[in-house]
A and B are shown apart, each in its own frame.
Chain A
Amino acid sequence: MTKPNWAARAVKGTVDWIDYRLPVFTFVNHHLVEYPTPRNLNYWWNFGSLAGIVLVIMIATGIFLAMNYTPHVDFAFASVERIMRDVNYGWLMRYVHMNGGSMFFLLVYIHLFRGLYYGSYKAPREILWIIGVFLIFAMMGTAFVGYVLPWGQMSFWAATVITSMFSAIPLVGESIVNWLWGGFAVGNPTLNRFFSLHYLLPFVIFGLVFIHLWALHTHKSSNPLGVEVKDEQDTIPFHPYYTIKDTFGFGVMMVFYMAVVFFAPDMFGETINYVKANPMQTPPHIVPEWYFLPFYAILRAISFDVWFIPAKLIGVVLMGGAVGILIFMPWLDRSPVRSARFRPIYKQFFWIFLLDCLILGYVGAKPPEGALIAIGQAATFYYFFHFIVIVPLVSVLEKPRSLPASISAAVTKAPAKGAS
């Protein structure tokens, strides 16, 4: 690690004194300033750092919300209303926090699909990718327990439906559900522990992000061409080139995020969650938040037993497997070429897969009736068919386009034919 070169003499002395004892300045210089970054990163590479910023916003707003929140079935709903009406800027904290959940998932999903398109999961970045999948699981857990805290109707029934999934486990399912609830139904013990976990899990996410970045900085960023960095010609220092690019992306993201917070704060939410939880009445139509809809559609798709395995268990396993299967992506995809730019067949299947996810999302939002049942089943089938059959087959059979010799060669010489 090289030490930063300090212009101002007066600062230099102090900085050197600290850096000799705790090399924090060297560390920052190494990872955020001179850090060599591929020169050809496009805006799709902004979403990782944007998600990181939203994580910080979530933790900050969450800490201040927790100061005014009461995790008790009799007071939780009212305490959230008090935050909205009486606590100074409470409404702002809550709207930023609750829409921050949606922003976080939006950014991370784009980040994920960026990885799928440009083959970011390939060697030597498999562990980086797998930690990313763990991050998605951790985010889902955090979002779920957080959604229960306002103790509205949808909070309560989401908690009931999701925890009941564990009853699908043979033999011990019922005991596990009672253990999760701390009782025989979702109740005060459940709300208490969900609050505790909702405070804990973001720090688990923070730790995973640290490991994610550690792995990232070991082999450094991939890039839209998918050709590894060969020499200094291929890189530019992170600062100022990507600090400014990320800052611009941050501005664009905040325009959208704050537009939602100030002008349509309940756009992503369900109005029925402003009705206090009633354990004796299920709302006529329960749906999860938008970011869970594709998985919810997969859960509901299985309405038939397969041999001796009950439908409920298959639905639950497939729902978990829908995220879990991403772990195997580095090995399902055998193609030596990373970027879909040079993979004409995979590129088309990528877009079809994205469309399939959107269809699943649509089906998940609607009541399970008529043609939607069959569409949901077909889309669920295709989701797994993509990973298990299409990706391995295409990666073996497809003839990729020729790659440029290096990142800099791609711009200094004529671009590879047909590359987009």
Chain B
Amino acid sequence: MTETVTTVTTEEDEGETRRDFLLIATSAVGAVGAALAAWPFIDTMNPAADTLALASTEVDLSAIEEGQAITVVWRGKPVFIRKRTVAEIESAEKTNVADLPDPEEDAKRVQKPEWLIMVGICTHLGCIPLGQKAGDPRGEFGGWFCPCHGSHYDTSGRIRKGPAPNNLAVPPYKFVDDESIKIG
């Protein structure tokens, strides 16, 4: 009697285990399927093909005087181009890089010392720093000043003070000839 009961219970247990396994396996496959089906929805929100078709921007530098700056548009973003003065180059090169929040030599940020070319977007939260126009505040280090949250950039576009974590980004560009560049 006892034996019979035990046997029956064991068989039921095995049955339940097999069902549990099937249930878990089916649910797992279903979950993976649902996750895969979610991807097309998510991916529609990524930059579309026409947005990705990178436009490159050519810029003629010949009209820019020493100490002057212009802003051009590349991929919908402002790009700062400043022809630096001798004093600005000197102050950028003499800075003790080790003390900076994002240490980077000036030489690594420019191809020609007089031409500083950077994406003009504050690395904190994406505002456009001031300092391109005459009369703009340029911050405590003579470069750029972001009005949103008070980040100061130096004459190499490096972050010196304030909440931004990184230096202003240098976009890919090359000199087509001495007086013009191609960004992108």
B-facing mask of A281-295, CB < 8 A → 1, else 0? 111111000000000
| CB <8 Å contact, A189 and B125 | no
* A282-B163 CB under 8 A given contacts A183-B47, A184-B75: no
Q: Is B38 an interface residue (CB 8 A)?
A: no
List which A350-364 residues lie within 8 A (CB) of chain B. none
Q: Is A410 an interface residue (CB 8 A)?
A: no
* A286-B127 CB under 8 A given contacts A183-B47, A311-B163, A315-B163: yes
The number of residue pairs between A and B whose CB atoms lie closer than 8 Å in the complex comes to 89
With a CB–CB cut-off of 8 A, which chain B residues contact A160? Answer: 125-127
Q: Is B182 an interface residue (CB 8 A)?
A: no
| CB <8 Å contact, A279 and B76 | yes
Give the complex CA separation of A281 and B130 in angstroms.
9
Q: Is A312 an interface residue (CB 8 A)?
A: yes
Sort chain A's interface into a size bin.
35 or more
A-facing mask of B152-174, CB < 8 A → 1, else 0? 00000000001111000000000
Q: Is A122 an interface residue (CB 8 A)?
A: no
| Nearest neighbor of B146 in chain A, beta-carbon distance | A282
With a CB–CB cut-off of 8 A, which chain A residues contact B77? Answer: 184-185
With a CB–CB cut-off of 8 A, which chain B residues contact A183? Answer: 47, 51, 76
Stretch of A56-64, A174-182, A255-263 lying at the B interface: A174-182
* A300-B147 CB under 8 A given contacts A160-B126, A160-B127, A281-B128: no
With a CB–CB cut-off of 8 A, which chain B residues contact A282? Answer: 127-130, 146-148
Q: Is A266 an interface residue (CB 8 A)?
A: no
Q: Is B142 an interface residue (CB 8 A)?
A: no
Q: Is A37 an interface residue (CB 8 A)?
A: no
Give the complex CA separation of A167 and B127 in angstroms.
13
Q: Given B73, B148, B163, which contacts A303 in the complex, CB threshold below 8 Å?
A: B163
List 5 additional contacts besides A279-B76, A303-B162; criterion CB under 8 Å.
A164-B126, A184-B51, A185-B77, A281-B128, A282-B146
A-B contact pairs, 29 of them (CB 8 A): A161-B125, A161-B127, A162-B125, A164-B124, A164-B125, A167-B126, A179-B42, A180-B45, A182-B46, A182-B47, A183-B47, A184-B75, A184-B76, A189-B45, A189-B48, A279-B76, A280-B71, A280-B128, A281-B128, A282-B128, A282-B129, A283-B147, A284-B147, A286-B147, A303-B150, A303-B163, A305-B101, A311-B165, A367-B150
